A and B are shown apart, each in its own frame.
Chain A
Amino acid sequence: MRPPRAIHPVGHTMGRVLGLAGDAATQKKTLHEALKQFEKLTTPGLIVEVTI
């Protein structure tokens, strides 16, 4: 079963999926990209690669 909408932030790894510890700017950009998919992504199950 796939998620309805998903992003894959390129270069982010497990344990720091939103960004490095203390890197609030990257964390916020990553979260914002995920939130944007509510409005942008209309094809269920797509995983969008994003470069933060």
Chain B
Amino acid sequence: MLEMSRKCVPYTPVTGAINEMRIALVSSTGIYLDGQEPYQEHNDDTYRVIPGEVDLATAQIKHGHYDSSEAQKDINCVFPMERLRELADEGVIKAVSNKHIGFKGASTDLKRQYEHLAPAIAHEIERSQADGVILTGG
């Protein structure tokens, strides 16, 4: 694993326009889908793959460290998949990526998140169609 200083800002220059990019959402809001395992109460270092064609009616939130009542009514408050699709339809972005990621984020085991969860999510996104990622938190 590539070691990076905590003072590092992992920055990749973007040379094209956003209307040439496929965009993925990566969200620490505790989003998962019907049929996927909900997150554990504490120190969950797993993630869920959210397909690009997801029906958001099947999306759930389990987090516990922020008020998710607005997100429970309209998940686009924290995971704006429908808005992303609209921007793709309007040509603002090229397309919605085939894969997106949800995870819980809140953890006291930061070392495990840094050494295991983050690289696993990065690897998943690298294997997707995404040219860029929008990260959202709760």
Contacts and interface: CB of A to CB of B under 8 A. Distances in A.
A14 B106 CA distance: 13
Interface of B: 4, 6-14, 17-18, 21, 23, 66-71, 73-74, 76-78, 80, 82-84, 86-87, 92-93, 132, 134-138
22 contacts: A4-B12, A15-B66, A15-B138, A16-B71, A16-B77, A16-B78, A17-B77, A20-B70, A21-B70, A21-B73, A24-B76, A24-B86, A27-B83, A28-B83, A28-B87, A30-B80, A31-B83, A35-B18, A35-B132, A35-B134, A44-B9, A45-B9
Interface of A: 1-5, 14-22, 24, 27-28, 30-32, 34-36, 38-39, 42, 44-45
A32 B92 contact: yes
Contacts of A22: 73-74
Given A39-B14, A44-B11, A14 B137 contact: yes
Contacts of B14: 38-39
Contact of A28 (B18, B69, B86): B86
Contacts of A20: 70, 74, 77
Residue with the greatest number of chain A CB neighbours at <10 A, chosen from B12, B70, B92: B70
Contacts of B87: 28, 31-32, 35
B92 A14 contact: no
A1 B76 contact: no
B78 A15 contact: yes
Q: Which 10 A-B pairs have the closest CB atoms?
A: A44-B11, A21-B74, A21-B73, A45-B9, A4-B11, A44-B9, A16-B70, A15-B67, A14-B66, A16-B77
A44 B11 CA distance: 6
